[in-house]
Amino acid sequence: MNDLTDLISVSIRAFHSDIFVGAETLKGPPGYDSLEFHIEMLNKSSHFYKIVCGQKIIGGFWLMQQKHDEAYLYRIFLDPDYHHMSIGLKSFDFLFKKYPSVKIWSLKTPKWNIRTPKFYRKIGFEISKEDEKFLYFTMNK
């Protein structure tokens, strides 16, 4: 339970930092600050990983494996104190090595966020579609 409490604190810090990259308010995606949501996602997701530095939880991500060769990265977040340290890149590298059978990766990000599209493109994702709220990214390995 301590891990979950720490994870929620990191989630709040991570999503509140979006105010500096286009968010209009100190908010986040549904459930980002909710214990019930995080417990539900631990039960629903195919896989969950926490990102640690030493013994400290600094981020996390949920993976929804849709088929043997397809996966959707539901959410990834990192404590803003650890941005620009290649931890996001290392997290994706971990995923790609851990799931070599996954050939199609997908995720989405809010259109207002000016930080994440550049990062996802750097990794190799491309915008596959967009609507009025989100950019949808896909990567074919």
Domain extents in the chain: 2-140
| CA–CA distance, 27 with 11 (Å, rounded to integer) | 11
Q: Is the dihedral of CA 84, 13, 16, 37 positive or negative?
A: positive
| Predicted structure pTM score | 0.87
CATH (residue range 2-140): 3.40.630.30
According to the model, what pLDDT value does residue 29 have? 84
Average pLDDT over residues 75-79: 94
The region of weakest confidence among 62-66, 90-94, 128-132 is 62-66
- Give the residue with greater pLDDT, 19 vs 59: 59
- Give the residue with greater pLDDT, 22 vs 110: 110
| 91 has pLDDT over 80 | yes
| CA–CA distance, 33 with 15 (Å, rounded to integer) | 9
- Give the residue with greater pLDDT, 20 vs 82: 82
Q: What angle in degrees, to the nearest 10, is found between the helix axes of 35-44 and 2-16?
A: 110
Average pLDDT over residues 62-80: 93
| CA–CA distance, 138 with 128 (Å, rounded to integer) | 6
Average pLDDT over residues 80-92: 95
According to the model, what pLDDT value does residue 1 have? 60
CB 112 within 8 A of CB 138: no
- The mean predicted confidence, pLDDT, of the chain is 92
74: confidence class by pLDDT, cuts 50, 70, 90: very high
